[in-house]
Structure 1
């Protein structure tokens, strides 16, 4: 079993060599194309054509490029970029690249509003998203990260791996996308059925549906077992909100993909992605959005999700526009009339000063101002928190999280806001203890919180993502007695909780780990099975019962495939390095961490691992040379400077 993981690194570097031809669309009979769909579904097509989905990715033309390419210039921290036209093309000449100024042709247009990005090909097949973008409202160029001055060698530079369109963006800006990255020669040969988020990105490949529609008497024998009677893979029904939510979540979430290509619609989310939990840096301790986490993770925290509300209850799915304007979008349910689809609603007039205590029509009277705080990303793009939370300035006063009240009343304190809410809602039951207080303590490194974290995980009234996060935080406490209790969550109905439980077993006794991992290897959800495969690495030989070998091999194969699909990610090679360390394979670990720092020289932990591995092998020259390279890329990093001060002198 352990021998299977020894080939993980080799597995990654044996990818097929492929010819490269960027821009060649996939040749498949499965996809019919949005133009074909429009022939029958005219109303839906007209709505879709004006949507952001339809214009998520476009070829450059006079109709799609809104930026000023009339020989205009923009300078960011001393580096100048010039935008101009030549013949029928659009070009960017920039000093913000290795070597002398270089000119790139614009190969694609990303997005419509409030900003538009331009995609350039830095080498055959490799498409990068340029960081100087067009502000659609102000009609001017601006830099996405004005406070940063990144060198071209930095992983977060526009030419680096984190800004690569093929790996990080294209799947959700296209239909039927396949990345096709070849690890040995570091090249892409990406394919797609259609650029832009077309009809089939949500409804699935439509060729069989077209054939069904053209038959006067549909021939069910011609349809495969996976297809519905109408020839499609997925049906959006009133009775199954989760199908729609998970389809939207594939793109509208902060997640790690398991495969090389867009999953076909209808594939369960947790079989395709690993959703980010409420982790520090992504979310505030109380679950409010912090970094750009998109929507799914916050929506899972909401009472709306728990009561069956779906995306299309508020958003028209083809145009993407809200179904009503202003507070009307909320009062379609939250009103004295209510909504028969949601019988547990409190029938009350919420759109009234007696509830919101603001002048009617003012910004403060807007439902979203209090219950969907807005955060700005990419400089100008406002995104709203979809957890639909009740403002809790009392929590802000304790742990420093933001709140809707002082978002607007910036001259006031959280304590003031908490007192105001208590005065206005004296009988409110919404001031109970909150998991955010516990999570904030755990994030600060406080110890002795294990029982409290287990208590949150056991509280079934909490959203699954909150319970899973409690188990995730529990892994910081290396307490075998607590970890031995985590196995009980492997029977939880939600895969997020089961996945976190598998990871939480790392500090359990080897007997408890083996027993629980065996059951997780056959979990119905891939995200749990992969987590179980990762936990196999630390088990002593012979711990798994003989009958588990087949399940272990299959789960390990799924993990290997997920790693291979992300061999262009620095994070993948960090995972491989960690796996190699667990297998006591220093050569494989060094190879993996060297790949990490070649992709992202600012990933300090990888440099530290490399230096220590060389020292452990008594290769002092390699260790010193590696440390010099690390400091050349990160001259002010305190961890590296401390390592240098402790470096053995020969």
Structure 2
């Protein structure tokens, strides 16, 4: 079941109820049916990462829209495209692979990381879930597909592949994954309206929404909802800053820009230092403190800090030199007694000012505004 989260622009409502695949499929019209009336939005969405969360491979590399992902040139070294059924992702950050029976390949060199110019890293292969070659069932359809019904090991299985423990109406996150099954709307557009309530948090989250999961000195990926709940912006809907039909990567306009977001609310906040007048708000308040696929170690004057490939949505910066961003075991972002999370100065300042130290950052950060 795909659910809407409580409050902050998210409504609790379940619109995917477990039942027979046939019964559910009859309520869906398919994303192609949206194109006729919503052509511009459809074209924008097709260039986002959502439709490519999982796509079938038919003896050739997966395809992505021009100007977006450079693609996945080949599968793991001991496979070829004829032995791969589906590719998971491949847009923006990384790709994983499913074998002919629908199982996800795990082990050494099973994950393909796309090039990342911000981190200065070329495309490369890394291990996925340990170094031993193995495979695991595909159970990720709730956030990778549209109309997912989890069925377990006994099936039925999508495409008859035993490794896929469920079925779907469409691969990828298509229109009806967010707007609900819309066959009735297509048949009678004025009488039946699809939902427009946000449900981003149902996928852009992990586990307990009151905890921000971390690993290796960085926030784990798809934690944006938890970030937001622990930030000063917990009352804002995602659409305040994002166009959900556009990608936030490949210069596609998914982020609406500082002028339409931060500056529209924080009109009285000024950057006092002339040298920083042109710095975007997200540079300091949304540093790359999250890892999806890859990261680097940045060394500054008195130590080092991890820099990931995604921006955090915590926003709030602490200038307290004693505040630790992560719990002692490194598994979560630390929060105070009010549930507020804070970015530390090493992430906010010292991934850029590598010749400086925390004492300098503490003094300098207070002067920026």
Q: What is the TM-score of this pair, normalised by structure 2?
A: 0.67
The 3 A distance-change label for structure 1 pair 145 and 49 is same
Which of 250, 253, 257 is equivalent to 1:329?
257
CA RMSD after TM alignment: 3.9
Q: CA–CA distance in 2 between the matches of 1:25 and 1:378?
A: 36
8 Å Cα contact 1:371/1:390 also seen in 2: yes
Partner of residue 314, structure 1? 241
Which of 189, 198, 221 is equivalent to 2:174?
198
SS of equivalent residue, structure 1 residue 47: helix
More helix by share: 1
Q: CA–CA distance in 1 between the matches of 2:37 and 2:355?
A: 56
The 3 A distance-change label for structure 1 pair 410 and 334 is same
Partner of residue 303, structure 2? none
Partner of residue 132, structure 1? 111
SS of equivalent residue, structure 2 residue 315: coil
The 3 A distance-change label for structure 1 pair 171 and 128 is farther
Q: CA–CA distance in 1 between the matches of 2:87 and 2:363?
A: 49
The 3 A distance-change label for structure 1 pair 117 and 178 is same
Q: How far did 1:64 drift?
A: 2.3
Q: How far did 1:320 drift?
A: 3.2
Runs of 5+ unmatched residues, structure 1: 1-23, 75-80, 85-89, 92-104, 153-157, 219-228, 237-242, 256-273, 339-344, 429-650
Q: CA–CA distance in 1 between the matches of 2:349 and 2:193?
A: 50
8 Å Cα contact 1:176/1:193 also seen in 2: yes
Which of 298, 306, 316 is equivalent to 1:389?
316
Q: How far did 1:201 drift?
A: 0.2
Partner of residue 10, structure 2? none
Alignment of structure 1 residues 243-262 onto 2, 5 Å: 243-244=197-198, 247-255=199-207
Q: CA–CA distance in 2 between the matches of 1:26 and 1:112?
A: 32
The 3 A distance-change label for structure 1 pair 324 and 302 is farther
Partner of residue 142, structure 2? 171
Q: CA–CA distance in 1 between the matches of 2:253 and 2:29?
A: 35
Partner of residue 275, structure 2? 358
Q: Over residues 423-445 of structure 1, what are the superposed CA-to-partner deviations in whole Å (9 max), with x where a residue is unaligned?
A: x26xx9xxxxxxxxxxxxxxxxx
Runs of 5+ unmatched residues, structure 2: 1-20, 64-70, 156-161, 296-307, 329-343
Q: CA–CA distance in 2 between the matches of 1:196 and 1:187?
A: 17
Partner of residue 49, structure 2? 52
The answer on 1:277 being equivalent to 2:254 is no
Number of equivalences? 299
The 3 A distance-change label for structure 1 pair 360 and 40 is same
Q: How far did 1:321 drift?
A: 4.0
8 Å Cα contact 2:320/2:362 also seen in 1: yes
Q: CA–CA distance in 1 between the matches of 2:254 and 2:26?
A: 44
Q: Over residues 573-601 of structure 1, what are the superposed CA-to-partner deviations in whole Å (9 max), with x where a residue is unaligned?
A: xxxxxxxxxxxxxxxxxxxxxxxxxxxxx
Partner of residue 347, structure 1? 267
Partner of residue 485, structure 1? none
Q: How far did 1:410 drift?
A: 2.9
Which of 349, 372, 376 is equivalent to 2:286?
372
Q: How far did 1:192 drift?
A: 0.1
The 3 A distance-change label for structure 1 pair 334 and 52 is closer
Q: How far did 1:329 drift?
A: 1.3
Which of 73, 84, 94 is equivalent to 1:68?
73
8 Å Cα contact 1:393/1:417 also seen in 2: no
Q: How far did 1:126 drift?
A: 3.4
Q: CA–CA distance in 2 between the matches of 1:144 and 1:384?
A: 22
Q: CA–CA distance in 2 between the matches of 1:377 and 1:203?
A: 26
Q: CA–CA distance in 1 between the matches of 2:163 and 2:316?
A: 45
Q: Over residues 163-202 of structure 1, what are the superposed CA-to-partner deviations in whole Å (9 max), with x where a residue is unaligned?
A: x4x22x3221110112211379x96542101001111000
8 Å Cα contact 2:54/2:171 also seen in 1: yes
Q: What is the TM-score of this pair, normalised by structure 1?
A: 0.40
Alignment of structure 1 residues 183-262 onto 2, 5 Å: 188-213=164-189, 229-232=191-194, 234=195, 236=196, 243-244=197-198, 247-255=199-207
SS of equivalent residue, structure 1 residue 39: coil
Q: CA–CA distance in 1 between the matches of 2:48 and 2:245?
A: 7
The 3 A distance-change label for structure 1 pair 360 and 126 is same
Partner of residue 144, structure 1? 126
Partner of residue 35, structure 1? 32
Q: CA–CA distance in 2 between the matches of 1:379 and 1:418?
A: 28
The 3 A distance-change label for structure 1 pair 27 and 408 is same
The 3 A distance-change label for structure 1 pair 43 and 32 is same
Q: CA–CA distance in 2 between the matches of 1:398 and 1:304?
A: 18
8 Å Cα contact 1:38/1:45 also seen in 2: yes
Q: CA–CA distance in 2 between the matches of 1:249 and 1:283?
A: 24
Q: CA–CA distance in 2 between the matches of 1:278 and 1:54?
A: 26
Q: CA–CA distance in 1 between the matches of 2:79 and 2:277?
A: 46
